[in-house]
Amino acid sequence: MTFTEQIKRAIAITKKDIKIYYSKGPVIIFGLLFPFFLFLAYTIGREISARELMPGLIGMTVFFTSTSIGPGIIPWETRSKTFERLICCPVEFWAILLGDMFSSVIFGTMISIIPVMFTLLFLGLDLTSFIIIVLSLILASLCFSALGVLLSSYPPTDIPATAMMLSSLVKFPMVFISGIFIPVERLPYWGRVISSISPLTYFTDITRHLILKNGYYMLPLDFLAIVLFTAFFVYAAIKMHERTLPQRIS
Partner 1 sequence: MTSPIKVDNLTKRFGEIVAVDHVSFKVRKGEIFGFLGPNGAGKTTTIRILTGILKPDEGKAFVAGYNVVEEPVKVKQRIGVVPEVSNAYVDLSAWSNLMLIGELYGVPKKERVERATKFLKEFGLYQARNRLVRGFSKGMKQRLLLCMALMNDPEILFLDEPTSGLDVESARLVREKIQQYNDDGKTIFISTHNMEEANLLCHRIAIINHGQIAAIDTPENLRLQSMELQYVEVLFNKPIKKEELMHHPEIVKVVPAGNKIRIYTANPSAIIEFVVEFAKKCEMRILSLNTMMPSLEDIFIKLVREHRENDFYRTD
Q: Which residues bind partner 1 (CB under 8 A)?
A: 1, 5, 8-9, 12-13, 15-16, 19-20, 80-82, 84-92, 246, 249
For 145, residues 6+ apart whose C-beta sits below 8 A from its C-beta are 66, 67, 69, 70, 100, 101, 102, 104, 105, 108
Q: Which is nearer to partner 1, 1 or 50 (CB)?
A: 1
Q: Compute the least distance from the CB of residue 20 to partner 1, in Å.
A: 5
Residue 245: CB atoms within 10 A of its CB come to: 17
Q: Which is nearer to partner 1, 90 or 220 (CB)?
A: 90
Q: Compute the least distance from the CB of residue 3 to partner 1, in Å.
A: 12
Q: Compute the least distance from the CB of residue 184 to partner 1, in Å.
A: 42
Quick one: 9 exposed, middle or buried, by C-beta within 10 A (0-12, 13-18, 19+)? buried
Q: Compute the least distance from the CB of residue 32 to partner 1, in Å.
A: 20
Q: Compute the least distance from the CB of residue 249 to partner 1, in Å.
A: 6
Buried b vs exposed e over 184-205: b needs ≥16 C-beta within 10 Å? beebeeeebebbeebbbbbbbb
Query: ∠ CA 68-72-77 to the nearest 5 degrees?
Result: 150
CA distance 218 to 201: 12
Give the residue among 181, 182, 185, 219 at the shortest CA–CA distance from 202.
219
Q: Which is nearer to partner 1, 52 or 92 (CB)?
A: 92
